[in-house]
Amino acid sequence: MAGKSFIVGNKLSGADFMLSFDLMMLVKRKALENYPHIRQYALQLASLDSYQRAMRLEANYDKTSTE
């Protein structure tokens, strides 16, 4: 991921979102400490407004699906 902002080309795509959930799990488990470029990519994705909105939607979905 060195020198790249996103998986496909230079813009955010579905591929980035598909990877983001697995990558964030790896970040939380500190499994990417030896992969700084991938870790930085994951943190960059998590900082995007669109990612934050998706996380809020998922949290709301989880709440309503268990009620």
Render each residue's pLDDT in the chain as its tens digit; 67 residues. 778 889 988 888 989 989 998 999 999 999 999 999 999 999 999 999 988 998 888 888 766 666 5
Which run of H or E residues covers position 43?
helix 36-47
Q: Give the span between the Cα atoms of 65 and 63, in whole angstroms.
A: 6
What angle in degrees, to the nearest 10, is found between the helix axes of 36-47 and 14-28? Answer: 110
Residue 66: its pLDDT value, please?
60
Q: How many CB atoms lie within 10 A of CB 28?
A: 10
Residue 3: its pLDDT value, please?
80
